Structure 1
Amino acid sequence: MTQPHAAETLQATAIAGIAVILIAGTVLARLARRVRQPAVIGEITAGILLGPSLLGLLPGDLTQRLFPDEVRPLLSMVAQLGLLLFMFTVGWELDWASMRRRKRSVAGVTTGSMLAPMALGAGVAALIYHRHSHVDGDKVPFSSFCLYLGVSMSITAFPVLARILKDNKLSRTKIGALALTSAAFGDVLAWCLLAGVVAIVTASGPSGFLDTLWMSAGYGSAMIVVVRPLLARAVGWVSRRGTGVQLATLVTAGLLLSAYTTSKIGIHPIFGAFAFGLVMPRAPQRLLEERMLRPLQHAGELMLPVYFIVTGLSVDIASMSLAAWGELGLILAAAVLGKILGAGLPAKSFGLNWRESTGVGVLMNTRGLTELIILGVGLSLGVLDDTLFTEMVLMALITTAMTGPLLPYLLPRTRMDLVTGKTAPAGPLVRIPEPAGGKASDLAG
């Protein structure tokens, strides 16, 4: 009877820990919104505060009591489910039509905003490699280390950026649309690059990498040729005879199987969930939003704060040395300059003035949750040690937090309507009804 009792105790501890996570995340997310920051800033901060950076410093080892080592696998499982649901919705919400409409400007901003920070990130990686070349006694290959830091520097958090643009009433401006569409396209490229880096890190030599490569190509082909048509039929059947619960259940099962498949191939499960979102039909849009997207978003939002706590348990600001703070300064400089120059210069070449093009660069500098996901992958693969992981999490937090306060100075309170192209002063929000099947949009007028 001892084992069942111990299992019940662990489950009860995990339940209590999740309750604490939800309360802390909600409170700090609300505080973040009060100071005009996206909720994710508060949730990430909650994760850090509940870890060894603050709670672990108090008497009684409260972090270990709330989240003992034996409970963390249970928390990680909940976190992974929330993460997979989130990645699916990111894939489904990508606006391919918008990308096609702005091919040249989006291509320029996307390319610059990825290549510049990637190059600077690889340069920083070369400078600090000697301090982080071993993780848990294993040597990290120099190429993998540089590639991983370079890719992680190039990230823009598409979902967080969308929220910042909406809060600042920039969603329907040319600048906002350019930044958001570039971030969406950059997300796709970044996940593809990361999948390649993960395949290189996990492959057992050149033959192992080639195996991962051809299996990934087969998986991608099957998703387009087989899974996408089957999903279209399933959605059609559910729209005629089924219920919302059946659709959400079917999609959840599909994205989990897709995540399992990519995991077996040798790349992270998040790529499977993301790819499933990409091939999921978009029509009928209203039905899919009501019966599939919203239930999955709500479930993901409920579980995702657990991911921040699992992340926060590996962030230890108190143990950072003077050299580590110096490295953080280097990382921040590369991350910020890379995005502002890499995105701003192409934006300037497409007709924006210096102030506006710098605003595009600052918008593209938003990293948030997407960066945390990539850093979590690096930590689990043994590419990042705990110190560098802490530095990179702080970089993600700072670059995301700086976006909101800088926007009023860089982008004056005027709005360029996407339809007419005319500039109008900012005013109260006006609800403009869109054509049937669309949503009402917020326009400044």
Structure 2
Amino acid sequence: MADASARSADLIIAITMADIAIILVAGSILGWLVRYVRQPPVVGEIIAGIALGPSLLGLLPGDLPSHIFPSEVRPHLSAIAQVGLLVFMFGIGWEFDKRLLQGRQGTAAAVSIASVVVSFVLAIGLAALLYDRHNVVNGKHISFTAFALFMGAAMSITAFPVLARILTEHRMMGTRVGALALASAAIDDVLAWCLLALVAAIVTASGGSGDFAQTIVLSLLYVTVMLLVVRPLLSYLIRRRVRDRIPPQLIVVLVAGLFLSSYATTWIGIHAIFGAFAFGFVMPREPRGVLDEGAKRPFGGISLVLLPVFFIVTGLNVDIGALSGRDLLELSAIIFVACAGKLIGASVPGRLAGMSWREAGTLGILMNTRGLTELIILNAGVSLGVLDDRMFTMMVVMALFTTVLTGPFLPKAPVRVDRAGSRALSEEPAAAASSV
């Protein structure tokens, strides 16, 4: 019996490894193909995740998703996906650069706040219409407050790393509208994460106002410790230990700190992704070259390999074929509200800041990019018990649609001809940003 159990465990691990290989190949192929339709690779990886689930592969005879990704394997894939996700969120926090806001603080804040507020208000109105059909998740009734606040946070997000990739590939990083979009998205994401943290605190505070107050106090204490203790300690360690390379011991400290920070926010009652993001946010940025080469790039490599597993875990829970006619109407309303909130909320302040209508419209289109960041929020909503399966599927489709919509509607990169006759990007340069 023991030998049979051991063989079974070995087989499960072997299937898990084979599944990861399938995921990486499928994501890589589709990521390469979508470049031909002006889409970033992450769109192809998201499509691969959905395609390998019940939405496409499940339509073929034989229930292939269950055979390729059997139930015994899925917990292992989920654990691997979580590691990739936490490393990715750490990178997002580390990538946040205040230099993006230099000279653009006022306009970026106006665009970001307006896009968040308009999206949030429209989402609250939409939530009021959808709540009665989605107020029970896994047999538990959820409050309208939690549902509406989560919808507001999910609609408010702009995917900063995906946006940076799109701007780079469309040669818009050095344009005024591209720089403003990136700066606004940075502020936008911080606001949206704060909203999601509030939702998580409300949902997990099952004991009432006392538990909610405790969660808020512990969250504030956590932020204080991260800023006043962890950040100075990391700066001290890097000053003392980093010269022309990163010592292995420091990499161990960073990995351990990342996971301990994620554990702390989970214990507090918000979500592990906040701990990963916060640890990246307090990471020192200097010496930039050494840290980029010795730490940021290896972490990015880990994310590159493990994050596609996250798309599969997400795709296995997405079943587009199960949506009814009423669900499709709701999906249309969700997409409309998602697009309208960002287009109106970003374009109007952009126009008031002196942009042409074309530039302001481009800004609104860019701020409508959601992509991977939206999937992270939606998976958090599932784990918090705020989204049922149908709403999760509709929101994932919305995230994919709004991201795909960006590329075809972007104008070609503006160019100017200098005195030597060579072509160069117009407008002022923007601070560089890259996706993890």
TM range (shorter): over 0.9
The alpha carbon displacement at 1:189 in A equals: 1.2
> Given the alignment of the two structures, is residue 46 of structure 1 paired with residue 48 of structure 2, yes or no?
yes
1:57 corresponding residue in structure 2: 59
| Distance of 1:112 and 1:51 partners within structure 2 | 37
Change (3 A) 1:202 1:360: same
| Distance of 2:203 and 2:175 partners within structure 1 | 41
| Distance of 1:97 and 1:36 partners within structure 2 | 28
The alpha carbon displacement at 1:248 in A equals: 2.8
The alpha carbon displacement at 1:6 in A equals: 2.0
| Distance of 2:205 and 2:255 partners within structure 1 | 29
> Given the alignment of the two structures, is residue 427 of structure 1 paired with residue 423 of structure 2, yes or no?
yes
| Distance of 1:340 and 1:222 partners within structure 2 | 38
1:356 is aligned, of 353, 356, 359, to 359
1:271 corresponding residue in structure 2: 274
Ranked by relative contact order (alpha carbons within 8 Å, sequence separation 6 or more), the top structure is 2
The alpha carbon displacement at 1:33 in A equals: 1.2
| Distance of 1:244 and 1:326 partners within structure 2 | 56
Question: What SS does the corresponding residue of 2:423 show, helix, strand or coil?
Answer: coil
2:405 corresponding residue in structure 1: 402
2:332 is aligned, of 329, 333, 341, to 329
Question: What SS does the corresponding residue of 1:280 show, helix, strand or coil?
Answer: coil
> Given the alignment of the two structures, is residue 310 of structure 1 paired with residue 306 of structure 2, yes or no?
no
Q: How does 1:334-413 map to 2 (within 5 A)?
A: 334-408=337-411, 413=413
The alpha carbon displacement at 1:296 in A equals: 0.2
2:153 corresponding residue in structure 1: 151
2:134 corresponding residue in structure 1: 132
| Distance of 1:128 and 1:425 partners within structure 2 | 57
Question: What SS does the corresponding residue of 1:227 show, helix, strand or coil?
Answer: helix
The alpha carbon displacement at 1:98 in A equals: 2.5
> Given the alignment of the two structures, is residue 282 of structure 1 paired with residue 278 of structure 2, yes or no?
no
Question: What SS does the corresponding residue of 1:402 show, helix, strand or coil?
Answer: helix
2:164 corresponding residue in structure 1: 162
CA shift digits 1:373-408 (9 cap, x unpaired): 000011111111111111000000010001111012
| Distance of 2:100 and 2:433 partners within structure 1 | 18
Change (3 A) 1:94 1:162: same
Letter in 2 for 1:99: L
| Distance of 2:5 and 2:168 partners within structure 1 | 51
2:94 corresponding residue in structure 1: 92
| Distance of 2:230 and 2:113 partners within structure 1 | 30
1:221 corresponding residue in structure 2: 224
The alpha carbon displacement at 1:245 in A equals: 3.5
Which range moves more in the overlay, 301-310 or 126-135? 126-135
| Distance of 1:320 and 1:439 partners within structure 2 | 41
| Distance of 1:36 and 1:425 partners within structure 2 | 28
The alpha carbon displacement at 1:122 in A equals: 1.2
1:291 corresponding residue in structure 2: 294
CA shift digits 1:133-169 (9 cap, x unpaired): 1111111111111110111001100000001111111
CA shift digits 1:166-196 (9 cap, x unpaired): 1111101111000000001111111111111
Q: CA RMSD in A?
A: 2.3
Question: What SS does the corresponding residue of 1:12 show, helix, strand or coil?
Answer: helix
Change (3 A) 1:439 1:356: closer
Change (3 A) 1:327 1:387: same
Change (3 A) 1:242 1:362: closer
CA contact (8 A) 1:114 1:155 kept: yes
| Distance of 2:283 and 2:360 partners within structure 1 | 34
Question: What SS does the corresponding residue of 2:13 show, helix, strand or coil?
Answer: helix
The alpha carbon displacement at 1:347 in A equals: 0.4
2:414 corresponding residue in structure 1: 414
2:123 is aligned, of 111, 121, 124, to 121
Change (3 A) 1:413 1:217: closer
Question: What SS does the corresponding residue of 2:386 show, helix, strand or coil?
Answer: coil
> Given the alignment of the two structures, is residue 181 of structure 1 paired with residue 170 of structure 2, yes or no?
no
CA contact (8 A) 2:413 2:425 kept: no
CA shift digits 1:185-231 (9 cap, x unpaired): 11111111111111101112110011111111111111111111110
| Distance of 1:18 and 1:429 partners within structure 2 | 40
CA contact (8 A) 1:48 1:312 kept: yes
CA contact (8 A) 1:51 1:312 kept: yes
CA shift digits 1:277-313 (9 cap, x unpaired): 1110011111110011000001111000000000000
1:107 corresponding residue in structure 2: 109
| Distance of 1:113 and 1:440 partners within structure 2 | 21
The alpha carbon displacement at 1:238 in A equals: 2.6
Q: How does 1:243-282 map to 2 (within 5 A)?
A: 243-282=246-285
Report the TM-score, using the length of structure 2 for normalisation: 0.94
Aligned length, in residue pairs:
428
> Given the alignment of the two structures, is residue 12 of structure 1 paired with residue 14 of structure 2, yes or no?
yes
| Distance of 2:48 and 2:191 partners within structure 1 | 30
Structure 1, unpaired ranges of 5+: none
CA contact (8 A) 1:371 1:396 kept: yes
Question: What SS does the corresponding residue of 1:101 show, helix, strand or coil?
Answer: coil
1:192 corresponding residue in structure 2: 194
Question: What SS does the corresponding residue of 1:60 show, helix, strand or coil?
Answer: coil
Which range moves more in the overlay, 308-317 or 54-63? 54-63
Structure 2, unpaired ranges of 5+: none
| Distance of 2:17 and 2:251 partners within structure 1 | 25
The alpha carbon displacement at 1:244 in A equals: 4.7
Letter in 2 for 1:293: K
Question: What SS does the corresponding residue of 1:37 show, helix, strand or coil?
Answer: coil
